[in-house]
Amino acid sequence: MMFTESLESLPDFILIIIGFTFLIAGGEGVVQGAVTFAQRLNVPPLLIGFTIVAIGTSLPELAVALQAVSSGEQELVDLAVGGILGSNVANIMLVLGTAALLGACKDPGTGIRQDAMAVIVATIVLLLTVYIGEIYQIVGIGMVIGLVSYYTYSYKKSMAAGIDVELEDTWVPDNLFFSLVVLIMAGATIFLGSDLLITGATGMATSMGIKQSIIGLSVIALGTSLPELTVTIIAATRGQEGVAIGNVLGSNVINILGILGIASTYAGGIIVAPEFFVRDIWVVVITSGFVAAMLLDERHIGRRVGASMITGYLFYMWYLLG
């Protein structure tokens, strides 16, 4: 407690940097610890890839959302919802744009049309909830069930097709107890990071006279998309075409159905500010729809398109913060 209080006395931008650092480090720890833990229990690699790793990389967004809804303050809920909307835009425009610019989107790979359809369905659900102005608890439960059903279907389809996931070596020692310790410590690090991030972002918004929703759409969204950006750059440099696209699409589906679904279920419902329907939801719909349509039509996302996507994202950030 004293450690947290001493950190919260630091300047807001320092809290934001430390919060992001804790989130990224904690997310990495959860993924690596979970992989080792699951392998020791002889869990199939494909199941690990579809569940543990996917959930682990989305824990930063989940931690921020749960911290926000637990506060009971609508402004922090706006920050969390804005973070999800902004993260989906960042994933498409910045992360996928970077992958295309590096030439990693020429061959999307098998199953990409299925993922593209999942993004379209999830985005439609998001559009309806933002239009209504509330994510009811029962709707949140349905969103989580939908996500689990989608992953179950994908897993069974991959198993039937004989597709497996090759996992990279992990830095966590091959020991069941040690991997469990890493999981616990990493989880604590994530939630500490989310607390510091929200504290810093709230202070920055107050001092600069900026709405919490705008901070969520920009600063929070960009920070929570850093893991996806890192994975994309690594995949591109290794020539793993298609990995980047799947990573982005999967992350966006989890953000909508998983993060917002769990948060609304936990909080008994979430009020969505009307301002999101005026502008930001349409940015999500247009960017997600554009990429999904290209993938469904089996078109390649080339370097010129990637450069245009990055430019568009920078303009969007300038518009929000200008």
Cβ–Cβ < 8 Å for 244, 309: no
- The domains located in the chain, with CATH, are 2-163+173-321 (1.20.1420.30)
Res 50 pLDDT > 60: no
pTM more than 0.85: no
Per-residue pLDDT, 300: 76
Q: Work out the average pLDDT over 249-257.
A: 88
Report the range of poorest mean pLDDT among 94-108, 112-126, 278-292: 94-108
Per-residue pLDDT, 163: 56
* DSSP code per residue over 176-189: HHHHHHHHHHHHHH
Burial 280-316 (b: 16+ CB within 10 A, else e): bbebbbebbebbbebbeeeeebeeebbeebbebbeeb
Res 99 pLDDT > 80: yes
What span, in angstroms and rounded, lies between the C-alpha atoms of 212 and 276?
12
Res 283 pLDDT > 60: yes
Report the range of poorest mean pLDDT among 201-210, 264-273, 287-296: 201-210
pLDDT-based confidence at residue 234 (cuts at 50, 70, 90): low
What span, in angstroms and rounded, lies between the C-alpha atoms of 321 and 272?
21
pLDDT-based confidence at residue 64 (cuts at 50, 70, 90): confident
Other C-beta atoms closer than 10 Å to the C-beta of 174 total 10
Q: Work out the average pLDDT over 46-63.
A: 68
Report the range of poorest mean pLDDT among 98-107, 257-266, 267-276: 98-107
What span, in angstroms and rounded, lies between the C-alpha atoms of 135 and 127?
11
Highest mean pLDDT among 9-13, 133-137, 318-322: 133-137
* Tokens found for residue 208: 């600069």
Res 292 pLDDT > 80: yes
User: Higher model confidence: residue 282 or residue 320?
Assistant: 282
Report the range of poorest mean pLDDT among 100-104, 133-137, 179-183, 312-316: 100-104
Q: What is the pLDDT of residues 118-174, one digit of tens each?
A: 999 999 999 999 999 999 999 999 999 999 998 888 777 766 766 555 555 677 888
Q: Work out the average pLDDT over 260-268.
A: 95
Per-residue pLDDT, 49: 55
Q: Work out the average pLDDT over 171-186.
A: 84
Per-residue pLDDT, 1: 47
Average pLDDT, the chain: 82
The pairs formed by 291-299 with CB atoms below 8 angstroms and a separation of 24 or more are 291/92, 291/96, 291/116, 291/119, 292/116, 292/117, 292/119, 292/120, 292/123, 292/249, 295/108, 295/112, 295/113, 295/115, 295/116, 295/245, 296/113, 296/116, 296/117, 298/113
Could you tell me which of 247, 243, 246 has the C-alpha nearest to residue 228? Answer: 247
Q: Work out the average pLDDT over 51-77.
A: 80
